[in-house]
Amino acid sequence: MLNIDASLIVVFLTVWVLIAVLTKIFFNPLRKIREEREAKFEENRKSLDKALESFEQTSIQIEEQLRAARVVAQTTREKFEHEGLKEKERLLEGTNKACRSQIEEAKEKLNRQLESLKKELESSSKRLAERIEQRLLN
């Protein structure tokens, strides 16, 4: 059978001393470093979550501001287009009035010239008729 002698107790005590020394010197610092690393990792994960949440909120705000700016830009564009069309109509109306007045002036001038030419033609035709009459009578 088994004999329990002093060497078994020495081996048993040596193993326990070795476990105690390894735990104190190696396992405890390793466990401490691992816990610190996990704590930092968890802290970084929380910071990342906060940053992502902040980013999403900021991007939503920016998108809303862009939508509002697009609406304002479209409204402004439509306003300027409307004002431009009104100005174009006003300018065309002014140009049409100026053209009509020039046409009326030209008509009046042509009518005056026509009347003067009619009078001139009438006097010329009278003189020509008198000359023809004198030639026929002579």
For 85-124, how does the pLDDT look when each residue is reduced to its tens digit (9 = 90+)? Answer: 999 999 999 999 999 999 999 999 999 999 999 888 888 8
Which value, to the nearest 10 degrees, does the dihedral of the CA atoms of residues 53, 54, 57, 63 take?
-120
Q: Cα 16 to the chain's mean position, in Å?
A: 75
Looking at this protein, which amino acid is placed at residue 55?
F
- In the chain, count H helices and then E strands: 2, 0
Query: Which pLDDT score, from 0 to 100, does residue 37 have?
Result: 96
Query: Which pLDDT score, from 0 to 100, does residue 130 have?
Result: 86
Query: Which pLDDT score, from 0 to 100, does residue 72 have?
Result: 96
Q: Cα 92 to the chain's mean position, in Å?
A: 33
Mean pLDDT of 17-46: 94
| Confidence band for 2, pLDDT divided at 50, 70 and 90 | low
pTM of the model: 0.49
Domain spans of the chain, in order of start: 9-138
